[in-house]
Chain A
Amino acid sequence: MDLVVDSRTEGTAAVLTVGGEIDLFTAPKLRERLSGTIDEGMDRVVVDLEGVGFMDSTGLGTLVGGLKRIKERDGSMSLVCTNRSVLRILSITGLDRVFPVYSSVTEALSADAR
């Protein structure tokens, strides 16, 4: 099982596109890429989880770690997700109220730019 993380820049925002399953084994890769993006100075990050078929609380912990760092410099981080099982863990843990969640990258970018 592997996790694929691609990154690109859209205007002033970084978009991380994630594919695969996020758990104890794969979360370090996401953490590394997320940290790298933040270290590059990007303070608007969109994490596209549309290609993620599964995520547990270890994956959430990674996202929360990124959010904490980016908030320290008044940045923002949003998620793109329509997958029911990923939305479920966000809802169970109450993190759907912490992260703005959008149904497409376009929607996330336009909301972020407001």
Chain B
Amino acid sequence: MSHAGMSPIFGEAKEVEPGRYQAHLTFEMAGDWVILLHAILPGGQKLERQIDVRGVRPN
């Protein structure tokens, strides 16, 4: 559940060990967030996954 027009945040995941990727993102606002993960597999195939992060609370 997110509102149209709010600023998106971008992050690039780095491979920290074979097959394991890590990215640092800062949620700048409380609420429900949606992470859209875009990956290109070794064969060139594109992968898109959606991860819901609900109920992010303010600091």
Asked whether A and B interact, the reply is: no
